[in-house]
Chain A
Amino acid sequence: MKYTLFLGCFIPVRLPHIEAVARGVLPQLGIELADVDGFTCCPEPVGFLTDRMTGLAMAARNICLAEEAGLDIITLCNGCTYTLKQANETLKADAALRARVNDVLSETGHEFKGTVDVLHFAQVLSRRVGLDGIKAVVKKPLTGLRVACHPGCHILSPPAVLGFDDPLDPVVLDGMVSALGADPVDWDKKTGCCGWTLTNYGEREAANRLLGAKLDAMHAAGADCSTVICPQCFYQFDTGQMLAARELKLEYKVPTIYYLQLLALAMGRSLDESGIRQHRVKDPALEERLGRLVA
């Protein structure tokens, strides 16, 4: 399985330790990653609603680079997946729109043909590698670790395009966590937005209340940590939780761990190698426990 690795902006700029983990662990599951020069922002799904044609053409240009390399795209981010998949499926299905977008692209030397697929790494892991394939690389099962899974809005909806899971009752990420030997917990507010976009473009106070409600629900379910598959969700639950802790008068911490970091731990990587120590929300008791599990 060989893919072009589409990093987007958030991970390489703000969370490079997640890029490093992805590059380290995915090849060990048979996922070969090819770097393509010239990828740009996907573009960002909310901002480019102000100009749909530009947004579509920029997304199509990114897809063209993968087409020219003859490889499907693998992403590490829900937002990138949402933008690229919607553009890809819409342009494959609508010949008139495709012609307009290709006209816009004409001066860049690219042409959208519709020959590749866009997949989130969680789709590749759950479907193409499969849960048995994940289990096969687990050396240190994360036994007893209680994890609240937050798949995030933009990998779930619209389901006809994203094709990942049931948006009202998602279970795929839970299965991926079970494959690592950990225990996914059942928690209220699992499908609610993380609030990152609300922090950025809306009202920070509202975003904090939303974050507080989600963290309360995770804590009430007895979660040791949460896991996410999107850098925006990660940032909100990590840096966002740290920033909001005082305003929300939080009396507990729910650290978040990117799924690929959990996978790295289960494959026997240390906490340092998995990048866990770079996180803002630190829980020494959890770190000690994880340290024991992977020792």
Chain B
Amino acid sequence: MAIRATYPPSAMHEAAEVCLKCGVCCNVAHSCHVMYDKKFNPKYTFVYDCLSSDKGASNPNIWMCVSCHKCEETCPYEVSPVHFIEALKGVALGVGVVHPTIRAEVAQVVATGFAFPLSGATERQRQALNLKPLPTKPLGELGKIADKTGLAARLREGQP
């Protein structure tokens, strides 16, 4: 199966060159949801400010992309803006521009294994439904993974 993955940094430049800035990816019905924000439209936010700029990773609007792949399905030139934006998000942690919600969520997953904090209310609800309690012990294995990849260190550096 041929799988297209997020562009490695080396392929980003090439993708940006192939893009005609034609805007087809942004103008098809049901395309990018960013059109619902009055301040942005996908053509400016993503095509011009990301695919045509060398400062894309520090553009806060990349965090508005939800990886729905609509642009990938509509681009006639197989540029796949989604993979370009995903690659920019990868660069972003390195240069310190990450949406604060994301940084907190990533840290929370590494520490607890869950993306959301567990509360007493959750446990009471689960009990009432006869569901098993959720594990509350921190999971050492995720910490080992984050140590090995360097994510743990990057998260520490980014903390005030």
Contact = CB atoms under 8 A, between A and B. Distances in A.
Given A9-B116, A104-B149, A47 B105 contact: yes
Interface string B83-120: 00010011011000011011101100110011110100
Contacts of B110: 54
Contact of A198 (B38, B66, B103, B131): B66
Interface stretch (B15-23, B48-56, B69-77): B69-77
A205 B39 CA distance: 11
Contact of B90 (A49, A161, A206): A49
Contacts of A209: 36-37
B12 interface: no
B78 interface: no
A14 B149 contact: no
Contacts of A103: 148
A49 B6 contact: yes
B37 A203 contact: yes
Interface in A144-201: 153-154, 156-158, 160-161, 167-168, 189-193, 195, 197-198, 200-201
A51 B134 contact: no
Q: Which of A50, A82, A153, A167 has the most CB of B within 10 A?
A: A50
A46 B114 contact: no
Contact of A158 (B66, B72, B105): B72
Contact of A20 (B5, B93, B131): B131
Contacts of B109: 40-41, 43-44, 47-48, 58
Contacts of A197: 66
A82 B67 CA distance: 10
B149 A167 contact: no
Contacts of A57: 145, 148-149
B142 A58 contact: yes
Contacts of A43: 109, 115
A89 B115 contact: no
Contact of B3 (A37, A93, A154): A93
B4 interface: yes
Contacts of A51: 90, 93, 106, 149, 151, 154
Nearest to B74: A168
A57 B147 CA distance: 12
Given A41-B114, A50-B92, A108 B144 contact: yes
B156 interface: no
A153 B36 contact: no
A203 B99 CA distance: 12
Contacts of A61: 141-142, 145
A191 B149 CA distance: 36
A257 B109 CA distance: 28
Nearest to B94: A50
Interface string A7-21: 001101110110110
Given A50-B106, A52-B90, A108-B144, A40 B114 contact: yes
Interface in B1-39: 1-6, 30, 33-34, 36-39
Given A108-B141, A200-B101, A206 B72 contact: no
B33 A44 contact: no
Given A104-B149, A193-B66, A213-B36, A10 B131 contact: no
A137 interface: no
B130 interface: yes
Contacts of A17: 125, 129
Given A13-B118, A50-B90, A54-B145, A158 B36 contact: no
A262 interface: no
Contacts of A160: 1-4
Given A43-B115, A58-B145, A192-B30, A50 B93 contact: yes
10 contacts: A10-B115, A14-B122, A16-B129, A50-B106, A53-B149, A57-B145, A197-B66, A198-B64, A201-B63, A207-B36
Given A13-B118, A86-B3, 10 more contacts: A12-B126, A45-B67, A47-B106, A57-B148, A158-B4, A161-B1, A193-B33, A195-B33, A195-B36, A207-B36
Closest 9 CB pairs of A and B: A206-B37, A157-B69, A40-B113, A153-B68, A50-B93, A197-B66, A202-B64, A210-B36, A49-B89
